[in-house]
Structure 1
Amino acid sequence: MSEQGVAGLVRNRVYLGEARYGGSVKKDAHEAIVPRALWQRCQGKRLPSARTGRLTEKFLLQGVALCASCSGAMYLSGSGTRNRSPYYMCRQRHCTNHAFAKAAALDAYVLNSIEEAITGLNYDGERVGPGLSDEAYRAATFVARPGAADSNIEESELALEEARADLEGYLSDTTLRRTLGAKRYNTAVADYVAIVNKAEADLAEARESSSGSWDLVGRLWNTEWGWAERKEWLERMVRSVVVSRGREPLSRRCEVELR
């Protein structure tokens, strides 16, 4: 059936319970097939759906942001013109208090919240929390990249463990200072410490190149990743973003839950 044919079917008032006989119309001739509100929503020119339109390829939280009133998903809307910035909005018909937020502002708030949770630092670089543990940090900033080898991490961890053991063993031998003299003893200690420092640096480099780091995520975000990569990473980090209706700052009406 053609598009015009489908449009004609949608406009048919038989769905409202009306019956037409020539030029006459009998209302309530039978039970309405659909509610009037639904029939009216189906009339008029439909705009392209934001679920697959260009807005979804610019912003990141469609399907993640939820309305605090009804727990329904919030969808992108708005033309993006100067007078009408894109925004997320709850479109659930049964909702009595539809949440909304400017798309750019909500995306920025959520990304800042992720950074604060990971690093313990706010947007201005001030310490506001402990950040993640080492294990959670590595999991949160993991970025799979071609050529990455976790075996390099294992080798670097073993080298660091051996370097620390050598330093500890040297320091625990109380006879060496008397045997070598203070100058030679301190020089040897400095050499052992330098080896430990080098092993720590090698391990940090191996972890960054193989399993990622917050700095690496930032570089990829700004220089290599497109919308799909950014969306995938964000959804791996965030379980939900719950937004309440209101004009207060997002910090007062938005809750970000990380995975």
Structure 2
Amino acid sequence: MDSINTSNSKINGTVKISELPTRVNSELSKDQLEDELQITRRKLGELQDTLYAHGKYAVLVCLQGMDTAGKDSLIREVFKDFNARGVVVHSFKVPTELERKHDYLWRHYIALPARGKFGVFNRTHYENLLVTRVHPNYILGELLPNVNSPEDINTKFWDKRFEQINAFEKTIAQNGTLIYKFFLNLSKEEQKNRLLRRLDKPNKNWKFSPGDLEERKLWDKYMVCYEDILNRTSKPHAPWYVIPADDKPSARLMVASILLDELKKYNDIKEPELDEDIKAKISEYRKQLEHE
């Protein structure tokens, strides 16, 4: 079976979102995609066990995309075979009162995965370069010094925020966190279809909000922001991968395959060697247990 191609997913230079694919050209059927995902996620789960035993790296998986891009179901399907204690998912909503009393990155710092674990950010620190940039009035709620009106939120403000986020990622990468960022590239037409399905299916109605339609009107502004993010924050230590998201099964397989392929490059991720004294006495310990 020919696997799905992920070789052109990583952002290594300047891109235009309008030229990036939203659908994968693949001859694999839905069943074949799901079968391959099952194999890949099982291998990822095994690798996580080794990562935990090794204890020197954490893995941070960042998922960004427009509403209905499939982030929730992707998390459910890709990490299904993980030990539940080996992966922690954080979904970042509107900042709480406590979170607003700290800098905007604080809530992301305290949610970072411990060494040996995977952390998944469902929406990420990049919301601070997306929603707040499309809706600059939200910045006023951060109560920042010298920011008293939308006029104070200018190009220099956003340049500084880009610097801060790049520095944040560089710092955690230098201290053992492996960062993989995925932009789920959904077409506007497919988003419309998925919103309609939410309205048509009673068991999906709860996911719909009139605010979804208001944000949809700002699609072009969001795309400008996403393009800027991809071009200014894809770094060797924290790369962005563009995942065509119009087809959910292929998107899930692409994310799982990229994670597995990239993590396998770390040849030092191995189970620790058993202490020589313990290894020499394994037969003795076995006899103790067998003769209880």
- Report TM bin, short chain: under 0.3
Kindly name which structure, 1 or 2, has the bigger radius of gyration based on alpha carbons: 1
TM-score computed with the length of structure 1 as normaliser = 0.21
Higher relative contact order (CA 8 A, sep 6+): 2
